[in-house]
Amino acid sequence: MPINYDEIMSLKSENIEISYTDKDSILYGLGVGLGNDPMDLEELKYVYENGQIALPSMATNFQYHSSLLMSAKLNFVMVVHGEQKLSIINPIPVSGDFLADMKVLNCFDKGASKGAIIDVETTVKLKSDGTEICKLVSTTFARGDGGFGGPESPSQEIFDPEGSPDMVDEITTKPDQALIFRLSGDYNPLHSDPNFAKAAGFPKPILHGLCTYGVACRSIVKSACENDVKKLKSFNCRFSSPVFPGETIITEMWKKENVINFQSKVKERDKIILKNGVSEIA
């Protein structure tokens, strides 16, 4: 059944109650590989309750609390996560009670042979007083649902790296990385079940895109923000290729005033996995 444009654009969920504890924040930190060296005090603060802080990319966990697109009757076998954007208004707490509002922001038609692009916006605020914490936009690429007569997607500015990067950071993932990261909310068997992964065309389970996103966020905070999470104001990128747990992720950064353009690649295969990355820092 083709997408009904008016119906999908009307989808929204308001005041979704979400709570998490410091243990959830620690689990997310471990899921993106923080704490591998227990003597590294900069990493320890994400996974130890004494002086604990949250990695900003943990805000993507808020997106797991709504099945907004399930009623859109998409061909979910052909659905992939295309892009992720995060705008940080106030630091992400390590625990708390929150309210989230979610709505379909855009739905673009790339044609019957190319699919559809759907943007879902999530706004997160404190339950206690309504203080806004962050805003996320998750882009779904529904490869099997184009040709419904919706608006065409606008052209996007593409970052094409020129010259050597100003900063480079390298992080090696662990073979069990996806099995840990899935405990933060994404239980898709593509990331845990070898048979399912092979049926989907992969030789083995792949790392979650949002885990790769979190690893790259680690590199930006460490290299461009001097390990100060409060300096990161936005973190946006496009997913271009999967990562296999155990591979090494290299993030290259180009700095221009308070903007960091970045891309990430897998060292072992020299494959770009995140592209068109841009972060604003304080």
Q: How many domains does the chain have?
A: 2
Q: Is 209 a catalytic residue?
A: yes
pLDDT over 70 (residue 272): yes
Does residue 244 share a domain with residue 118? no
State which residues form the domain around 195. 167-281
In this predicted structure, which of 51-65, 97-111, 119-133, 143-157 has the lowest mean pLDDT? 143-157
Does residue 215 share a domain with residue 132? no
In 3D, which of 236, 242, 243 has the Cα closest to residue 261?
Answer: 236
Sheet holding 12-20, edge to edge: 12-20, 96-109, 116-126, 132-142, 79-88, 232-239, 271-281, 259-266, 248-256, 167-172
Of 180, 206, 250, 281, the catalytic one is: 206
Does a structural domain hold residue 235? yes
Does residue 268 share a domain with residue 186? yes
pLDDT over 80 (residue 1): no
How much of the chain exceeds pLDDT 70, in percent? 100
pLDDT of 17-27, one tens digit each? 999 999 999 99
pLDDT of 28-61, one tens digit each? 999 999 999 989 999 999 999 999 999 999 999 9
CATH number, domain with residue 40? 3.10.129.10
Of 150, 209, 214, 277, the catalytic one is: 209
Decide which of 107, 142, 177 is a domain's last residue: 142
Q: Is 191 a catalytic residue?
A: yes
Structure pTM?
0.95
Of 186, 220, 273, 281, the catalytic one is: 186
Report the pLDDT averaged over residues 90-117: 96
Of 118, 180, 191, 277, the catalytic one is: 191
Q: Is the four-CA dihedral 60, 66, 68, 70 of positive or negative sign?
A: positive
d(CA 168, CA 61): 27
Does residue 23 share a domain with residue 134? yes
